Structure 1
Amino acid sequence: MSKTIERTEMRSITSPGFAMQVDKAKYDAMKDALLAAVPKGKPGLTVAEVKAGVLPLLPEALFPGGAKAGWWLKGVQLDLEARGLIARENVKPLRLHRL
Structure 2
Amino acid sequence: MAQEIFEALNVNHPGKVHRVDAVKFCKACAGLLSVLPTEAPGLNQSEMIAAARAVLPDADFPGSTQGWWVKSAQLHLEAVGEVVRDTGKPLRWRRVS
- Alpha-carbon distance between aligned partners in 1 of 2:15 and 2:54, rounded to the nearest angstrom: 32
Runs of 4 or more, structure 1, over 3 Å off, are: none
Residue of structure 2 equivalent to 1:25: 23
3-state DSSP of counterpart to 2:20:
strand
- Alpha-carbon distance between aligned partners in 2 of 1:78 and 1:96, rounded to the nearest angstrom: 10
3-state DSSP of counterpart to 1:45:
coil
Which AA in structure 1 matches 2:29? K
Residue of structure 2 equivalent to 1:98: 95
TM-score (normalizing by structure 1)? 0.89
Unaligned segments of structure 1, at least 5 residues: none
1:52-87 CA deviation, whole Å, 9 max, x = no partner? 11012112221124x311211111111000000001
- Alpha-carbon distance between aligned partners in 1 of 2:26 and 2:36, rounded to the nearest angstrom: 15
- Alpha-carbon distance between aligned partners in 2 of 1:40 and 1:33, rounded to the nearest angstrom: 15
TM-score (normalizing by structure 2)? 0.91
Residue of structure 1 equivalent to 2:37: 39
Residue of structure 2 equivalent to 1:84: 81
Seq. identity, %? 39
Residue of structure 1 equivalent to 2:48: 50
**Residues 68-79 of structure 1 mapped to structure 2, 5 A cutoff:** 68-79=65-76
Which AA in structure 2 matches 1:70? G
- Residues 29, 59 of structure 1: 8 Å contact kept: no
3-state DSSP of counterpart to 2:57:
coil
Once superposed, what is the RMSD of the aligned Cα atoms? 1.2
3-state DSSP of counterpart to 2:47:
helix
Residue of structure 1 equivalent to 2:11: 13
